[in-house]
A and B are shown apart, each in its own frame.
Chain A
Amino acid sequence: MATPLTPVITAHWDVPDLFTLDGYRRTGGYRALPKALAMDPDAIIGTVKDTGLRGRGGAGFPTGLKWSFVPQGDGKPHYLVVNADESEPGACKDVPIMMANPHALIEGVIISSYAIRANHAFIYIRGEVPQAIRRVAAAVREAEQAGYIGTNILGSGFDLRVTVHSGAGAYICGEETALLDSLEGFRGQPRLKPPFPAVAGLYSVPTVVNNVETITNIPWIINNGVEWFRLFGTEKSPGFKVFAVSGHVVRPGIYEAPLGITMRELLEYAGGVREGGRVKFWIPGGSSVPMLNEDHLDTPLTYEAMAEAGTMLGTGTPMVFDDTISVVKSVTRWLEFYKHESCGKCTPCREGTYWITGMLERFEQGHGADADLDLLNEVCGHIMGRSFCALGDAAATPYPAAVQLFRDEFVSATRTPVDETFPPAAGYVFSAVGAR
């Protein structure tokens, strides 16, 4: 039986004023907050642990476990930092959440802060999305005016400040320790772990860094409980997921479904591949995870099944490319991105992205060298696992996966420019049927 769509976070996005306090309250918003404030903070951490909720930012680390690493009774301030620096190529689900339902995020922030005993929370939003920043900032003000943020919230004795912080254009700040350096007023460069942020995070005190979608799950977990949450998904990947399907599909957009739905099912809901096309390759969760082809359309979109298939669920935002797209050009463009966004701290990533990009650009122009096919794999191997953070690993990911699936195309690009083999206009989405 087909996996149904199950709107939870997105269930009321068609309410025109959902982004306001009134709109959110009319759909049941802020009912979890008093319930949570009546609970023992450790009981909330226990509940989140029991749900098995895994971080929705890409790594999939169990959220409740992360919260439980924060030392309690240590006499230090604690911080919650929401990672809203959504910048991974292909990822486009946190910005819509913040635009459509910022109060759900805020309610999650308040409850999560209470659970980890943080009295100051930060929401670090990439600077290039001013409308999302406005909506979150307005939601914070409304929540303050309603007494949900401030001192002695709803008579509980719990105090919380929330600061919205605008980034300034740096993909690397999506990496949690780089984000913390950035928030402290430095260049956004990753820190060596351990110590992990739960022990020494913002200003070197215990800090939880969670993704927007992860925190937005919390009000529903408090309202509806562990048993309900586990009705969705699998044992190792429980819950619902805001999938964002982009690329050559008829109806690109947001599709919320249980983890474990397949790409074939998501494609069907999205109206299928555009007319005349078939799936050439697709990427389950951002350019940092290995690409797959048609063979894996029936693989469940779970953390474990994607890992078994040699890739990762990542951000759960599949990009779909049809036969008109050159894999050589796609990978080259991604590597140009990683080269631009490498913070420069670690030599393998800084130098490796430079050399890989140069070699790939020669392939794109039809001048690739046969020997470079293997040399590229070797260079990627020298980056993988040899940098502080996952950006290096991410940069070393697209090429090996692509050459394994589409070696012929790289061989062809030793002789023929890719724009001859794959005329660019064929890939455009506005030529045949007009602009969407």
Chain B
Amino acid sequence: MALDESVRAQMASIVERYPRSRSAVMPMLHLAQSAEGEVSDEAMRVIADMLDLTTAEVTAVATFYTMYKRRPVGKHLIGVCTNTLCGLLGGDAVYAALTDRLGVGHDETTADGMFTLERIECQAACTHAPVMTVDWEFMDCQTPSSAVEVVDRLARGETVVSTRGPAIRDFEATEHTLAFPDDGLAGQGGEADDMMLAGLRVAHELGMSAPPVPGQES
């Protein structure tokens, strides 16, 4: 049983964040997923008991949100944005290259349990298109070959670092972060990147800045 006493104690601590206990259901589901790699029937029963809900009420939540998985996910969840902007700027080709390499399609897991592949929706990173995610960590500005290289390196057990975050761990570790976000990794991924600094750099080059506060002009 993966939902041991320590997981249950962590679940109980989540409840304290909210004025009403039911609000804890989403982070509790993330935590259950971090322990079991999916949201199991048992996890939903445990959460329902702890929150004094019916299993049906928890199931209703667990089946509504895309990130909760009712089947085991591979060690790594690979997502490729194929919404219009990323997809048409190359995400479609990135996705095709990964289906070729991994031999699986959307929402399928490789036989060795290493990778689950998904077409995902807009990740709020259109300036970094085409966008891929590994265990939801950003892998920005991909090409078909760079994406294949990422999964090859992960398959060999090598370290792969997110373009704007920490070294890739695994799907379950990210799910734990979503339940307990202050995981000590906030400093990873460093400073703002080229896309985030694009306008600031142009402003510096052209000597542009915001107007001074009236009466405080230097």
Cα separation A247 to B194 with both chains bound (whole Å): 15
Cβ of A4 under 8 Å from chain B:
yes
B195 lies within 8 A of A134 (CB): no
Within 164-201 of A, Cβ neighbours of B (below 8 Å) are at 164-171, 182-188
CB distance from B87 to the nearest CB of A (A): 6
Q: Which of A92, A166, A186, A252 contacts B178 (CB 8 A)?
A: A166
Cα separation A232 to B66 with both chains bound (whole Å): 40
Contacts of B199 in A (CB 8 A): 5, 7, 10, 243, 253-257, 269
A166 lies within 8 A of B92 (CB): no
**Of A60-68, A353-361, A421-429, the one with at least 4 CB within 8 A of chain B:** A421-429
A225 lies within 8 A of B206 (CB): no
Report B165-204 CB contacts with A as 1/0, cut-off 8 Å: 1100000001001110111011111111011111111110
Q: Which of A20, A89, A99, A168 contacts B121 (CB 8 A)?
A: A89
B210 lies within 8 A of A11 (CB): yes
State whether A185 and B23 are in contact (beta carbons under 8 Å apart), knowing that A13-B196, A16-B191, A166-B30 are contacts in the complex. Answer: yes
B129 lies within 8 A of A168 (CB): no
Cβ of B115 under 8 Å from chain A:
no
A96 lies within 8 A of B196 (CB): yes
A168 lies within 8 A of B84 (CB): no
A89 lies within 8 A of B84 (CB): yes
**Chain B contact residue count (CB 8 A cutoff):** 86
State whether A435 and B124 are in contact (beta carbons under 8 Å apart), knowing that A138-B182, A185-B22, A333-B82 are contacts in the complex. Answer: no
Cβ of A127 under 8 Å from chain B:
yes
Q: Which of B83, B128, B165, B203 contacts A337 (CB 8 A)?
A: B83
CB distance from B175 to the nearest CB of A (A): 9
CB distance from B100 to the nearest CB of A (A): 16
CB distance from B161 to the nearest CB of A (A): 12
A168 lies within 8 A of B30 (CB): yes
B interface list, Cβ under 8 A from A? 17-20, 22-27, 29-30, 51, 60-61, 64-68, 79, 82-85, 87-90, 92-93, 120-130, 133, 136-138, 141-143, 146, 162, 164-166, 174, 177-179, 181-183, 185-192, 194-203, 206, 208-211, 213-214
Q: A5-B208, A240-B210 are in contact. List 18 more A-B contacts (CB 8 A).
A: A5-B202, A13-B191, A88-B122, A130-B178, A130-B181, A134-B185, A137-B186, A166-B179, A168-B66, A168-B67, A168-B68, A246-B129, A252-B195, A254-B196, A326-B88, A333-B83, A428-B89, A435-B141
11 contacts between A and B (CB under 8 A): A4-B206, A7-B200, A11-B210, A92-B124, A134-B183, A140-B182, A169-B68, A231-B214, A252-B129, A337-B121, A340-B121
A interface list, Cβ under 8 A from B? 4-8, 10-11, 13-20, 77, 86-92, 94-96, 99-100, 120, 126-131, 133-138, 140-141, 163-171, 182-188, 203, 224-225, 227-228, 231-232, 240, 243-248, 251-257, 269-270, 287, 317, 319, 321, 325-326, 329-330, 333-334, 337, 340-341, 343, 424-425, 427-431, 434-436
